[in-house]
Amino acid sequence: AQSVTQPDIHITVSEGASLELRCNYSYGATPYLFWYVQSPGQGLQLLLKYFSGDTLVQGIKGFEAEFKRSQSSFNLRKPSVHWSDAAEYFCAVGTGGGNKLTFGTGTQLKVEL
C-alpha cells in the first residue's frame, strides 16, 4: 500500500529565508504526487503536482518541488518565505489514476518576522 512520510512536524523560518519541506513516499508504480496547503480554518488548496516529465515542477505562490525517484522524495521549496506562507503543508500520493489520495501527516510552518 502507498504511504507518505513528512518527517518534520513543525518548522520555523524567518521571513525572507529559504524553505524546504521534506516528503518521502512509498508506492510501487510511478506516483502522482501533490503538495497541498491548508490555512487555519480553511480547506486544502493545491500548490503543485507531478505526474511525469520534468522532475522540477513549479506551482503557485512561488513554490516548486523536485521529484527524485532514486530517493522516493518530492521536497517542496521556496527561495524566500513570506509571512503569509505560514500554514500547514501536506504532501500526498495519488493512486487510481491520481484520484485516490494518501496524505502525509503534514508540516506546520511558522514564519518569524
Partner 1 sequence: DAGVIQSPRHEVTEMGQEVTLRCKPISGHDYLFWYRQTMMRGLELLIYFNNNVPIDDSGMPEDRFSAKMPNASFSTLKIQPSEPRDSAVYFCASTLWGETEQFFGPGTRLTVL
Is residue 102 near partner 1 by the rule CB under 8 A? yes
Q: Is 59 in the site for partner 1 (CB under 8 A)?
A: no
Q: Between the CA of residue 23 and those of 52, 81, 112, what are the distances in Å?
A: 17, 18, 23
**Binding residues for partner 1 restricted to 31-50, rule: CB under 8 A:** 32, 34, 36, 41-46, 49
Q: For residue 32, what are the contacts with CB-CB under 8 A and spacing of at least 6?
A: 49, 50, 51, 93, 94, 95, 97, 98
- Are 88 and 103 in contact by the 8 Å Cβ rule? The answer is no
Residue 43: CB minimum distance to partner 1, A: 3
Residue 103 binds partner 1, judged by CB under 8 A: yes
Q: Which of 58, 57, 113, 55 is nearest to 84 (CA)?
A: 113
Question: Measured from the CB atom, is 39 or 55 closer to partner 1?
Answer: 39
Q: Is 94 in the site for partner 1 (CB under 8 A)?
A: yes
Contact positions vs partner 1 (CB under 8 A): 32, 34, 36, 41-46, 49, 51, 90, 94, 96-106
